[in-house]
Structure 1
Amino acid sequence: MNKPILFSVLMATATWQTATAQDATTDSTYRQFNLGEVVVTGTRTPKFLKDTPIQTRVISAKEIARLDATNVQDLLQQELPSVEFSYAMNQQTHLNFSGFGGQGVLFLVDGERLAGETMDDVDFTRLSMDNVERIEIVKGAASALYGSNATGGVINIITKNSQKPLTLNVNARYAKHNEQRYGAAFGLNGKHWNNMLTANLNSTDNYNVHSAESPVTRIIATVYGDKTMNLKDQLVWSPNSNLHLTGRAGYFFRETVRSADQPERYRDFSGGLRMDWNLSEWDNVQASYAFDQYDKSDFQRITRLDIRDYSNVQNTIRWLYNHSFESGDVLTIGSDYMHDYLYNTNLEGEVRKQDLWDVFAQYDWRITDKWEAVGAVRYDYFSDGNDTHVTPKLNVCYKPRRNLALRAGYGMGFRAPTLKEKYYNFNMSGIWIVEGNVNLKSEVSHNVNLSAEYTKGHYNFTASVYYNKVKNKLATSAPYFKNADDKLPYLPYANLDNYSVCGGEIGAQAKWNNGFGARLTYAYTKEQLAKDKDGNTINNQYIPAREHALNARVDFDRQLTKTYGLNIALQGRVLSGVENVEYKDYYDVSKGTISVEYPAYTIWKLSVVQRVGKAVKVNVALDNLFGYKPKYYYLNSPITDGVNLQIGMSIDIDKIF
């Protein structure tokens, strides 16, 4: 398929929302493993998954439905062995992704960044799995086109467009701790337009967990649930086959009750406009405006006042130009501008603003039918501190055979210090005062990766290795007392030296004609701990990456009769133990540190999905099948307290009639 036709495929469903390319290849091998699917994250231009020079992991809509995940956190843990989520000190969720924390992993929705953070991570409860077409994952700094926060990788959640004249789905699930999930999606599709409206409500009660006696550091006694609401609407108007205009709007709300008199509230308001225009057979232009505002507040039940103490507002303008050559080469040029506004009562001066601007260029060179190279360079400017960076990348793909792809790449990544890291001053629950540092330098990383993918008949094999070297890593340093009479120590943000992470991943999957399938993926991660300017290893409040991790799945999927289909899946993950140096008493750091052991553990899930007729699906699952409970519920322990029975139903009302 030549490039102009490929761009037409992309534009037909809006740039960041491409559908599976049914005519990608006549080889059933590719169709079996979704290698004919169009992906866009690695290069910002459409590429078939089997052809992309940048190794990309895709989680399809079918896999998302089978896993029945509520949000992106649930999904990634089941699908990627190198991912683990733990708690920060106030039970906000923290991500470790192949040795990188949440601030080093860029989350996108249809290519757009998210405002706000909670303890250095995006609010993962915002990222529900309703109406998701697929998720594209690029590890490391393989793509230089995304700038700050993409040193550890890019995770792009791509939503669906309405493809039928009318679609209407309602779904619900009930689970342990009074977990309730309700969702609905309503789509309309006309000759020149389509609209998709989605809504979901989730809630989980607070519950208590119990540890053994004599813990060596702080433990969790109560796990706090929450209530969330997520509303999204997207309208696409296509006056002709070459022009597509998209408008979107969203609202998110979450409430967490740690104190009955003063629950915490989190809100997000988002919207945007986008234009996709095929100027000619060879030229395509994309332009967009995005707005995202993430707020935090405390609701005082007695006075009925909702007092906001945090707001992050991002206004972003973007344009992208693609030119295809007859040889199959593609030139991409683009630029982004973002105005970043941060209000926080713990900031010096409470309000900080900055402007971010970038320009980038990429050339996709089809050297021969077997060789392809993608080179790119990006320039970024941050007005706060007049910080500038140039980051290059180069990725090469060699296909000696149609079903074998060998890839190699180098990417320079960087992460500029956030306004919070520069100007924060916050009393962390009487433990220490988190202190900003105006002298922070940008974090710069060098990523090298090699990978191979081989597909034959019913089998697909992948292998990859990578090395990341990080200079001036941004993190919190060791706490210290400024003055002898200080009651609390200060925990400053600092640049750390000598941090690197290397690892690899091997995977094998199979799909047979009798309905059985299997997948096994093993990940190895090795971190070299960062040190401060005095050469001391820094205490890490978050759990390090586990050295060994394995995900396994076996499933059976068959349409047994015209009106009844069945999917049975057993899926699990095994993680090795790890040790972390933590404080004996976070409320008195003078007691020193201690090595905390987090033992190896395994969690499995057995699920049964029954398809009744064309419209009804009934899901029954036993999560944490073998009832794993940690001996001590430390902050970084998995918060599991036995078997969790989950029962759900999904009804496509439009298919009933």
Structure 2
Amino acid sequence: MNRHIYLSLLIASAAWHTVAAQDAHTDSIFRQFSLDEVVVTGTRTPKFLKDTPIQTRVISSKEIARLDATNVQDLLQQELPGVEFSYAMNQQTHLNFSGFGGQGVLFLVDGERLAGETMDDVDFTRLNMDNVERIEIVKGAASALYGSNATGGVINIITKRNKQPWTLNINGRYAKHNEQRYGGAFGLSGNHWSNMLTANYNSRDNYDVHSASNPVTRIISTVYGDKTTNLKEQLTWSPTTSFNLTGRAGYFFRETVRSAEQPERYRDFTGGLRMNWSISAQDHLQASYAFDQYDKSDYQRITRLDIRDYSNVQNSLRLLYNHTFVRGDILTIGSDLMHDYLYNTNLDGSTRKQDSWDLFAQYDWRVNEKMEIVGALRYDYFSDGDESHLTPKLNFCYKPLRNLSIRAGYGMGFRAPTLKEKYYNFDMSGIWIVEGNSNLKSEVSHNFNLSAEYTKSHYNFTASVYYNKVKNKLATSAPYFKSASDRLPYLPYANLDDYNVCGGEIGAQAKWNNGMGARLTYAYTKEQLAKDKDGHTINNQYIPAREHALNARVDYDHQFGKHYGLNVGLQGRVLSGVKNVEYKDYYDMSKGTIDVEYPAYTLWKLSLVQRFGKAVKLTAAIDNLFGYKPKYYYLNCPTTDGATFQIGMSIDIDKFFK
């Protein structure tokens, strides 16, 4: 973020936060809990975390390093209650985020969308945690700023930018099932330019798991590993302090071997160019172009042919302007244009294209030194079907005390039907004929939320409640036979009846001067399952949200002189049991459905990070500390098969010379 943006932010803050300059002790408390960190996701303008009117959870680079997570899936499960990843068919990973699936949670990297999906979710293995500055998480509908798919929330991964003359890091980790992770980052910086190059390789072998006898539905016998490679380059040119250009390029490759003769391959090519121009201390303009192509293919080892059967290509342009008024009000105006191309052998016609366009505006009104109101309105247009949508939001932040913030808001979310949902038509492994529906309407959600945050001395407390009402939920309906002669039933996409999800979260964290820290967060989620047009509850191939979830963490960090530091942490999560209506045999619909019980479970991780000088970190951890194994390895359950020991090392080579 350049100097003029910070200047604008500080001018706006000074107008009505004069108490902050007089209260250094309170400011140190905010720094202790990262509340003085600048975030952008909730409002698309830079704000201190303590001042943003939209409740935002930030996972910092220090927390990411301490947890030693490989990708965003590992990280979110350890840090957020109410988040669970399970398998969909074909062992593709599926997210449940407080009652919303992967299609209802928008994942961004530096504010940019991701192309492609696997069974309704982005490919989470693309999102590794090397070179990540922070992750900003906004729960609840955010479509007024981000458009389609932001019905349940936004997760924005912010990458690091090099600020040193040169940096060089190499790291590696080894764990059970021959899990290997290797990474490196190299950066250079001059007077007017800087770059950051990162490279990562991860692999894990297939392994077998064993269930008890008499399972009630389909079980997994082999958990498939994969091999991934990730390369990213980012180059920034800053001819002046008020203007910069950032170019980026990336390549991702993943191979999964479910069949020795025909491994599955996934690739992604990404690139873009972004301009940031501080026209004045009050006016800022951003323009960007982004390209993302996600492909799937099957590699035939005998013929050495790599046959592509899926490709999603997105080209997008964006303009974003904001103006800060004298008393601190901020006006933000933006527009996006995206061309979406989809090739899929399962589509009716194989290829489909769509153009989408939007225009949005937001006004941040500082009513007085205690009250702030933010309102936004967005218009979206989609060329396929000439569909349009108008989306509002309104948020309040009230600070009756210096260290107490009360936030409330309403947001509309929407999800436009995808080209896949409109035009799919294929035989799914002899189970049923998946049938698209070109007459689908957009899914619309209404989100109401209320939260409070209180910080005092070494303690921080949060509490929130929310209610989501979803209309025209997009999903597959009940399978049916069109005629008595049909060999397979049809599984149509449809708009289901109203779906509701409500819940709340309470959290407490503490940081003491002796190096001890602790966090405890509990989440409650209650879903009302959607029904089809005939009033039948839809069987769900994805596990519903677990009603109760608890995440806990305690750690100790101390620096013993210049040459040795230590961090010891214990973190865990507890999830309640849940029932799901599933088909007893997907290959024989006549056997009907059955209630599958997924029991409560708990997973804990004990970690040790040792710092040797400034340059070397040695990590060791025992994941699944108490060796949890499910009785039945259904699709929607943890695939843990006992405790896992991990050991790794990270070396900042440049720090040997500083």
TM-score normalised over the length of structure 2: 0.97
Question: Which amino acid in structure 2 is aligned with residue 353 of structure 1?
Answer: K
Q: CA deviation at 1:282?
A: 1.1
Residue 593 of structure 2 is matched in structure 1 by: 593
Question: Which amino acid in structure 2 is aligned with residue 114 of structure 1?
Answer: L
1:94-145 deviation per Cα after TM superposition (whole angstroms, max 9, x unaligned): 0000000000000000000000000000000000000000000000114610
Are residue 499 (structure 1) and residue 510 (structure 2) matched? no
CA–CA distance in structure 1, aligned partners of residues 192 and 300 of structure 2: 48
CA–CA distance in structure 2, aligned partners of residues 248 and 602 of structure 1: 40
Q: 1:304 to 1:7 in 2, by over 3 A?
A: farther
Question: Which amino acid in structure 2 is aligned with residue 101 of structure 1?
Answer: G
CA–CA distance in structure 1, aligned partners of residues 262 and 7 of structure 2: 52
Residue 397 of structure 1 is matched in structure 2 by: 397
Is the 8 Å Cα contact of residues 531 and 538 (structure 2) preserved in structure 1?
yes
Larger deviation, residues 173-182 vs 26-35: 26-35
Are residue 300 (structure 1) and residue 300 (structure 2) matched? yes
Residue 329 of structure 1 is matched in structure 2 by: 329
Q: CA deviation at 1:24?
A: 12
Residue 565 of structure 1 is matched in structure 2 by: 565
Q: CA deviation at 1:423?
A: 0.2
Q: CA deviation at 1:656?
A: 1.4
Q: Percent identity?
A: 82
Residue 19 of structure 1 is matched in structure 2 by: none
Question: Which amino acid in structure 1 is aligned with residue 175 of structure 2?
Answer: A
Is the 8 Å Cα contact of residues 322 and 332 (structure 2) preserved in structure 1?
yes
Residue 176 of structure 2 is matched in structure 1 by: 176
Is the 8 Å Cα contact of residues 150 and 415 (structure 2) preserved in structure 1?
yes
Is the 8 Å Cα contact of residues 142 and 150 (structure 2) preserved in structure 1?
no
Are residue 117 (structure 1) and residue 117 (structure 2) matched? yes
CA–CA distance in structure 1, aligned partners of residues 241 and 201 of structure 2: 36
TM-score normalised over the length of structure 1: 0.97
1:281-318 deviation per Cα after TM superposition (whole angstroms, max 9, x unaligned): 21110000000000000000000000000000000000
Is the 8 Å Cα contact of residues 277 and 286 (structure 2) preserved in structure 1?
yes
Q: 1:452 to 1:208 in 2, by over 3 A?
A: same
CA–CA distance in structure 1, aligned partners of residues 344 and 636 of structure 2: 27
CA–CA distance in structure 2, aligned partners of residues 613 and 25 of structure 1: 31
Question: Which amino acid in structure 2 is aligned with residue 75 of structure 1?
Answer: L
CA–CA distance in structure 1, aligned partners of residues 513 and 54 of structure 2: 30
Are residue 367 (structure 1) and residue 333 (structure 2) matched? no
3-state SS of 1:145 partner: helix
Are residue 410 (structure 1) and residue 410 (structure 2) matched? yes
Q: CA deviation at 1:427?
A: 2.1
Q: CA deviation at 1:629?
A: 0.2
Q: CA deviation at 1:5?
A: 5.4
Residue 622 of structure 1 is matched in structure 2 by: 622
Residue 449 of structure 2 is matched in structure 1 by: 449
Residue 18 of structure 1 is matched in structure 2 by: none
Q: CA deviation at 1:485?
A: 2.1
Residue 655 of structure 2 is matched in structure 1 by: 655
Q: CA deviation at 1:561?
A: 2.1
1:607-653 deviation per Cα after TM superposition (whole angstroms, max 9, x unaligned): 00000111000000000000000000000011100000000000000
Is the 8 Å Cα contact of residues 24 and 48 (structure 1) preserved in structure 2?
no
1:16-46 deviation per Cα after TM superposition (whole angstroms, max 9, x unaligned): xxxxxx9997621001000000000001000
Question: Which amino acid in structure 1 is aligned with residue 256 of structure 2?
Answer: T
Q: Superposition pairs for residues 200-349 of structure 1, below 5 Å? A: 200-349=200-349
Question: Which amino acid in structure 2 is aligned with residue 298 of structure 1?
Answer: D
Any gaps of 5 or more consecutive residues in structure 1?
Answer: 11-21
Q: Superposition pairs for residues 110-149 of structure 1, below 5 Å? A: 110-142=110-142, 144-149=144-149
Question: Which amino acid in structure 2 is aligned with residue 304 of structure 1?
Answer: R
Q: 1:230 to 1:411 in 2, by over 3 A?
A: same
Question: Which amino acid in structure 2 is aligned with residue 117 of structure 1?
Answer: E
Question: Which amino acid in structure 2 is aligned with residue 376 of structure 1?
Answer: A
Residue 485 of structure 1 is matched in structure 2 by: 485
Q: CA deviation at 1:487?
A: 1.9
Is the 8 Å Cα contact of residues 508 and 521 (structure 1) preserved in structure 2?
yes
Residue 458 of structure 2 is matched in structure 1 by: 458
Residue 187 of structure 1 is matched in structure 2 by: 187
Residue 40 of structure 2 is matched in structure 1 by: 40
Q: CA deviation at 1:7?
A: 5.7
3-state SS of 1:606 partner: strand
Question: Which amino acid in structure 1 is aligned with residue 589 of structure 2?
Answer: V
Residue 16 of structure 1 is matched in structure 2 by: none
Is the 8 Å Cα contact of residues 142 and 409 (structure 1) preserved in structure 2?
no
CA–CA distance in structure 1, aligned partners of residues 89 and 5 of structure 2: 51
Question: Which amino acid in structure 1 is aligned with residue 242 of structure 2?
Answer: N
1:298-352 deviation per Cα after TM superposition (whole angstroms, max 9, x unaligned): 0000000000000000000000010110010000001000000000011010000
3-state SS of 1:106 partner: strand
Residue 80 of structure 2 is matched in structure 1 by: 80
Matched residues, number: 645
Residue 605 of structure 1 is matched in structure 2 by: 605
Is the 8 Å Cα contact of residues 143 and 151 (structure 2) preserved in structure 1?
no
CA–CA distance in structure 2, aligned partners of residues 348 and 431 of structure 1: 19
Residue 519 of structure 1 is matched in structure 2 by: 519
Are residue 576 (structure 1) and residue 576 (structure 2) matched? yes
Q: CA deviation at 1:70?
A: 0.3
3-state SS of 2:91 partner: coil
Residue 105 of structure 1 is matched in structure 2 by: 105
3-state SS of 2:145 partner: coil
CA–CA distance in structure 2, aligned partners of residues 426 and 191 of structure 1: 56
Larger deviation, residues 484-493 vs 29-38: 484-493
CA–CA distance in structure 2, aligned partners of residues 526 and 80 of structure 1: 17
CA–CA distance in structure 1, aligned partners of residues 266 and 89 of structure 2: 18
Q: 1:347 to 1:376 in 2, by over 3 A?
A: same
CA–CA distance in structure 2, aligned partners of residues 158 and 433 of structure 1: 40
3-state SS of 1:655 partner: helix
CA–CA distance in structure 1, aligned partners of residues 7 and 503 of structure 2: 35
Residue 55 of structure 2 is matched in structure 1 by: 55
Residue 13 of structure 2 is matched in structure 1 by: none
Residue 530 of structure 1 is matched in structure 2 by: 530
User: Post-superposition, which runs of at least 4 consecutive aligned residues in structure 1 deviate over 6 A?
Assistant: 22-26
Q: CA deviation at 1:81?
A: 0.6
Residue 353 of structure 1 is matched in structure 2 by: 353
3-state SS of 2:78 partner: helix
Is the 8 Å Cα contact of residues 609 and 620 (structure 1) preserved in structure 2?
yes
CA–CA distance in structure 2, aligned partners of residues 211 and 561 of structure 1: 51
3-state SS of 2:246 partner: strand
Any gaps of 5 or more consecutive residues in structure 2?
Answer: 11-20
CA–CA distance in structure 2, aligned partners of residues 142 and 375 of structure 1: 12
Question: Which amino acid in structure 2 is aligned with residue 45 of structure 1?
Answer: T
3-state SS of 2:610 partner: strand
Q: 1:63 to 1:578 in 2, by over 3 A?
A: same
Question: Which amino acid in structure 1 is aligned with residue 496 of structure 2?
Answer: L
Is the 8 Å Cα contact of residues 141 and 413 (structure 2) preserved in structure 1?
yes
3-state SS of 1:656 partner: helix
Is the 8 Å Cα contact of residues 150 and 415 (structure 1) preserved in structure 2?
yes
Residue 64 of structure 1 is matched in structure 2 by: 64
Question: Which amino acid in structure 1 is aligned with residue 155 of structure 2?
Answer: I
Q: CA deviation at 1:488?
A: 1.6
3-state SS of 1:62 partner: helix
Q: CA deviation at 1:426?
A: 2.5
3-state SS of 2:144 partner: coil
CA–CA distance in structure 2, aligned partners of residues 464 and 210 of structure 1: 40
Is the 8 Å Cα contact of residues 54 and 142 (structure 1) preserved in structure 2?
no
Question: Which amino acid in structure 2 is aligned with residue 600 of structure 1?
Answer: A
3-state SS of 1:144 partner: helix
CA–CA distance in structure 2, aligned partners of residues 9 and 376 of structure 1: 20
> RMSD across aligned C-alpha pairs, in angstroms?
1.5
